[in-house]
Structure 1
Amino acid sequence: MKSLYVLPFFIAFCYSGAKRAEGGAVVAKEHAADRKSAQVLYTMPEEGMPHEGTWLQWPHQYQYGEAYRDRLDDAWIAMTDALSEGEKVHIIVYDEEEEDRVREMLEEDKISLKNIDFKVYKTDDVWVRDNGPIYARDAKGNLVIEDWGFNGWGKKAEFENCDEIPGRIASDQNRKYVDLNEVMINEGGAVEVDGNGTLMATKSAILNKNRNPGMSQAKAEEIFTKYYGVTNFIWLEGKAGLEITDMHIDGFARFADKNTIVTMSPDDLLEWQVAQNDINKLFRSTNKNKKKYNFVKLPLTQENVTTAYGKKLDYPGSYVNYYIANNVVLVPNYKDPNDAVANAIIQKLYPNREVVGIDVRNLYANGGMIHCVTQQQPR
């Protein structure tokens, strides 16, 4: 079976607490005492809305070595190439030496740097979906950066550099910064929103003693209502301890739009170790108007995945973890016969965008796929 975000080493650190955005960013500090009502303060745009750009954290050698970095470069080059035709690509690099290395690779591949910029921030790893900025809109429609707490998926891996990324971006963009570090630990891949008031998540990745000890479901819903603008909730139990993320939702169920959930067949969901009760609940899901969702089912890979460097994994690959950009949809591909099947299904869902398959085999050996390593900045 798959193991999402299986990092080369598991190193636990104590959570460093709240952070501050430096420079010109306006900090909106939020405390638990402020959570007296479920009033909507901010709304999170759905991923398919127009983007200003996409954030990527480029792999580097400083955490897991050169082999780790070199095996991932091609996927990042391919994502940058596909994305830069339709939006900006904001690339986070570890240091100036890494910036020079990445620039050289892109230029060698004849990729224009016109829509690409670089930010030099130290990172621990590549999972910007989970540690990066969450862009939301205030009541006047202005974009703000929400910085939810990140503690390395429950102190399972180093996180202190990545934990600082949202504040650094808010400072550089001189954008209002909503500091939620003392409010909730919440990774971007742990939640899905449909853009119409509904949030879908697993309890195992949020209401977990390694993230938010003692937090009730009601309190979590109150927080999500205030900061995501959602009022309807689809809670699956998930499976704590299954893998480093404690079963993020974006590996097996996503919103294609306000009416459609993309997932797998019940048999494939069981293969993905989703419990039968969760499968039943997923397929009974309704939106905020109590209308049932339409379901689109993607296959798993026909075969267990083998990396480009020959490592045989003992689990199949998911296509659900795709990313919607302005002009393209980036879909995980595995050199498997079902790549074409999944790409064709997703193309029908997004007829005005081009589906681009990205070879994620080497990335998948570390657990993640396309959605895990991308983060949108709305226009």
Structure 2
Amino acid sequence: MKKKRVGILIFLILLIGFSIVFYKENFMSYQYPDENVRHEGTWLTWPHSHTYGKTYAEEIEPIWIQMAATLSQDESVHIVAYDENLKQHIEDTLEKNNANMDQIDFVIAPSDDVWIRDTGPIFVKDEKGQLAIMNFSFDGWGKKMPYTKDNLIPQAVSKQKNFPIIDASDLVMEGGSMEISADGTLMATKSSVVSNNQNASLTQTQVEDLLKKYLGVKRFIWLDGVLDEAITDAHIDGFARFLDKDTILTVPEDDFYDLFEGISEKDYDLLHSATNANGNPYQIIEIPLTKNNVRGLDYKGSYLNYYIGNQSVLLPVYEDSNDEVAVHIMKELFPEKTIVPIDVRALYKNGGMIHCVTQQQPLV
């Protein structure tokens, strides 16, 4: 009789445990916090030589030094360092460059590259307002680049910083492929989210259902984008951003078609005819691309891949005559913040800018 009671008790415990897991996986709701509001800190993956060599790391490291030194004055800066040796190097370097070391901490985890917007922790809030990491799959933008180490970074952050982690591995999703406004509208290109290169086994409806479940998305603005023109398959954060729930920042029409070879007039029209949650047209504010091709490249640079810190806006610049135009516009858009131009040419030739290599951690 005693053994029977113990068996029943074990069965009930297992049943309760299963019910809790089932509820969390199927009925818990999550919300992606507005990235434009004040946040706890910023995540960076520091450049290293293990994947692309010493020259690569040394060329782009000054960008990380400037970002960390600037942001650490008013928020936490959380750095993913490949190993303890790199951590020591980072600490020595940032101390010499006037970073606020009290605001800087580390997670030790090997990485393939620096694009933490796509590879790092994507933070959400649960129904109680607590932070958790939504752990999407990352596959090197459709298996174009090394990715096995990067795919494990959210788990390392979860373990070392004690954040709950939610398994969302049934969806490949990169932070740079989505813009989500404060009212839950997602703007993205199909080419970078649901295409032959990304989530090929899922329909658009299935992808939308998962994004509603994992990120609290309520509405969708889908552009077609373009496949195989860039590694990311036309991430949205290079050419269209939400300033707020009623305003979209993009580029002028002539520049729009310079972004990616093959991008369509249909996408331009869709962007400009989109309506907000109240059914009203978005206000469209245009920021031009660089006037000339970026030095050493055969294409222009975008200023829309900026990052909003608590006190500053980190703005990519290219030593181009339109740099000052972009700075002026950003000062008008963010009058309460300091605009910090960062020369990203060394990074841009490798595929990205400031927003691509930063990730916000919201306040609780």
**Shared fold, TM over 0.5:** yes
What does residue range 1-379 of structure 1 map to in structure 2 within 5 Å? 41-181=29-169, 183-273=170-260, 274-306=263-295, 312-379=296-363
Other-structure match for 2:4: none
SS at match of 1:195: coil
Q: Distance in 2 between matches of 1:66 and 1:200?
A: 37
Structure 1 residue 265: deviation in Å?
0.6
**Divergent runs of 4+, >4 A:** 28-31
Residues 352 and 78 of structure 1: CA distance in aligned 2, closer, same or farther (over 3 Å) = same
Structure 1 residue 117: deviation in Å?
1.0
Q: Distance in 2 between matches of 1:30 and 1:337?
A: 56
Contact 1:29 1:179 in 2 (8 A): no
Richer in helix (by share)? 2
Using structure 2 for the length normalisation, give the TM-score. Answer: 0.91
Structure 1 residue 111: deviation in Å?
2.3
SS at match of 2:248: strand
Q: Distance in 2 between matches of 1:246 and 1:304?
A: 20
Q: Distance in 1 between matches of 2:21 and 2:49?
A: 34
Structure 2: any 5+ residue segments left out of the alignment?
Answer: 1-19
Q: Distance in 2 between matches of 1:132 and 1:83?
A: 18
Instruction: Report how many aligned residue pairs link the two structures.
Output: 341
SS at match of 2:208: helix
Structure 1 residue 245: deviation in Å?
0.5
Q: Distance in 1 between matches of 2:90 and 2:299?
A: 31
Structure 1 residue 51: deviation in Å?
0.9
Between the two proteins, what is the percent identity of the paired residues? 45
Contact 2:81 2:108 in 1 (8 A): yes
Structure 1 residue 209: deviation in Å?
2.5
State the structure with more CA Rg: 2
Q: Distance in 2 between matches of 1:189 and 1:271?
A: 19
Residue-by-residue CA offset, 1:27-77 (whole Å, 9 max, x unaligned): x9799xx67xxx771110111122111000010001011100000111000
SS at match of 1:233: strand
Q: Distance in 2 between matches of 1:256 and 1:242?
A: 26
Contact 1:30 1:178 in 2 (8 A): no
Q: Distance in 2 between matches of 1:227 and 1:351?
A: 33
Which has the larger displacement, 98-107 or 259-268?
Answer: 98-107
SS at match of 2:90: helix
The one-letter code sitting in structure 1 at the alignment partner of 2:281 is K
Larger RCO, structure (CA 8 Å, separation 6 or more): 1
The one-letter code sitting in structure 1 at the alignment partner of 2:210 is I
Residue-by-residue CA offset, 1:216-242 (whole Å, 9 max, x unaligned): 111111111111111110000000111
Structure 1 residue 173: deviation in Å?
2.2
> What is the alpha-carbon root mean square deviation over aligned residues?
1.6
Structure 1 residue 321: deviation in Å?
0.4
Residue-by-residue CA offset, 1:133-188 (whole Å, 9 max, x unaligned): 1111111211111011100000111111110111111122222211111x200111
SS at match of 2:221: strand
Structure 1: any 5+ residue segments left out of the alignment?
Answer: 1-27, 307-311
Structure 1 residue 290: deviation in Å?
1.2
Q: Distance in 2 between matches of 1:29 and 1:342?
A: 48
Residue-by-residue CA offset, 1:251-271 (whole Å, 9 max, x unaligned): 100111111111101111011
The one-letter code sitting in structure 1 at the alignment partner of 2:241 is R
Contact 1:92 1:119 in 2 (8 A): yes
Residue-by-residue CA offset, 1:242-296 (whole Å, 9 max, x unaligned): 1110110001001111111111011110111331100000000111221211111
Residues 175 and 239 of structure 1: CA distance in aligned 2, closer, same or farther (over 3 Å) = same
SS at match of 1:44: coil
Contact 1:30 1:179 in 2 (8 A): no
Q: Distance in 1 between matches of 2:157 and 2:141?
A: 21
Residues 29 and 359 of structure 1: CA distance in aligned 2, closer, same or farther (over 3 Å) = farther
